[in-house]
Structure 1
Amino acid sequence: MLYLVVIVTEGIKCVLPERIITITEDDQFSKLYEIFTCEQFNNQSVEVYVRQNKVDKWVEVSDGLNGDLKIMEVLGYNHVKFSLIESLRNIEPPSFSDAFDIMMRNARQPKLPQLHTEHTRRDLLYNEIIELLQNKKAGWRGGIHQTLGKEFVER
């Protein structure tokens, strides 16, 4: 009879915390894995690691789930880690916008002069022209909206 400390991880994340499992040494790691996970992760690839105590390094079992638990008794190991292998299609680099791309995208967008405070009918007409240009998605690029654009709307 073997008394093993078992854990399941995925990458650096602990999926199932440590528990002590009792099993016979005649079984394979696959049986231990089924007992411990209650068949939750059957469709995922798994790597098997063992060690003697918490301070030792994990040693990979080359046979994986097909390995015999007899090596635990023979080599004196009592910790088992099942590591779920993350599928490559799920691992995508996060799509963060580059600051330069944001600046270039904003530079390409048409800009309009600022609206005037409506004190007179002329200010009202000025604002209506700007709103008309905005509705038509028209404007100026390259910072000339404050000079040339303003002069255009005022005439």
Structure 2
Amino acid sequence: MFFIVVQINEGTKILTGPLAKEVEENELFSTLFDSLTPGNYLHHNVRVEVRNKDTGPWITVHEGLESKLLLMKMLEFTKLKYVILPSDIAVSSPSHIRFPNAFTRLMEFKLQLPVQKREDTRNILLYNHIIQLLQNKNVGWIGGDHLTYGTRFVERITKAVWYIDPHLEKLRLRGCHLPSLFNSLPVYQQNGAYNEYYQRMKKKKPQLTRLELFQLANSIEISLTEPWISEA
């Protein structure tokens, strides 16, 4: 069971609603319509329209009354409108608003993450662990944004963590701590380090610089101002 808001129109005139209704997902649109209009419009054509926001466009359900209410739950539509048409007007679904394939819509709204890479280096191991961390938190990107914004975001986080990895203890002594989210990365859970190469370096080891830290922080800030944030 789930809740929707339903109304019935005759043309542009509202006959019933809007009403909040609890509905059964396996019922047909026709079943709900009949319960709201017991036998009054048996010989009329009815167009079924749905939307998910008060200001969004109404989308015509191509299968009309014979489709299941499950469609609304799966595609996260909350508003339903029945439009009673004159008996001489056939129900049609104009080409410019044909209801999209359900699987396509589900994939558009499914949270996705960048693809993990083959772990040839410790740096890639960190990259994959960050993706797994986001996956465990049930977060991601929709509409294919994981291929662009998502990949850039994970790369920037990876670069920042990789840079400060050898200096975490020094930063802690100065009161600067890694965000708790990243403390749960697998290698840190085992008190290890990702940038093991730094520890084995024979030559003079590069030190933290204010400029590099600023640039890394700025790159992450750029990700947080990209369009996907406002759509999240």
- Higher-strand-fraction structure: 1
Contact 1:26 1:69 in 2 (8 A): yes
* Post-superposition offset of 1:10: 1.3
Look up the SS of the partner of 1:4 in the other structure: strand
- Segments of 5+ residues of structure 2 without an aligned counterpart are 90-232
Contact 2:47 2:85 in 1 (8 A): yes
Aligned match of 1:56: 56
Aligned match of 2:70: 70
Q: TM-score, normalised by structure 1?
A: 0.54
C-alpha distance in structure 2 between counterparts of 1:83 and 1:65, whole Å: 11
**Percent of pairs identical after alignment?**
27
* Post-superposition offset of 1:20: 1.2
Aligned match of 1:133: none
RCO (CA 8 Å, sep 6+): is it higher in 1 or 2? 1
C-alpha distance in structure 2 between counterparts of 1:6 and 1:38, whole Å: 16
User: How many aligned residue pairs are there?
Assistant: 89
Contact 1:6 1:36 in 2 (8 A): no
* Post-superposition offset of 1:87: 3.2
After superposition, the CA RMSD in angstroms is 1.5
Work out whether 1:23 is the aligned partner of 2:23. yes
Q: TM-score, normalised by structure 2?
A: 0.37
- Matched AA of 2:69: L
Contact 2:52 2:78 in 1 (8 A): yes
- Higher-helix-fraction structure: 2
- Segments of 5+ residues of structure 1 without an aligned counterpart are 90-155
Matches within 5 A, 1:6-155: 6-88=6-88
Contact 1:8 1:81 in 2 (8 A): yes
Aligned match of 2:2: 2
C-alpha distance in structure 2 between counterparts of 1:12 and 1:76, whole Å: 25
C-alpha distance in structure 2 between counterparts of 1:80 and 1:39, whole Å: 20
- For the pair shown, the structure with the greater C-alpha radius of gyration is 1
C-alpha distance in structure 2 between counterparts of 1:80 and 1:13, whole Å: 15
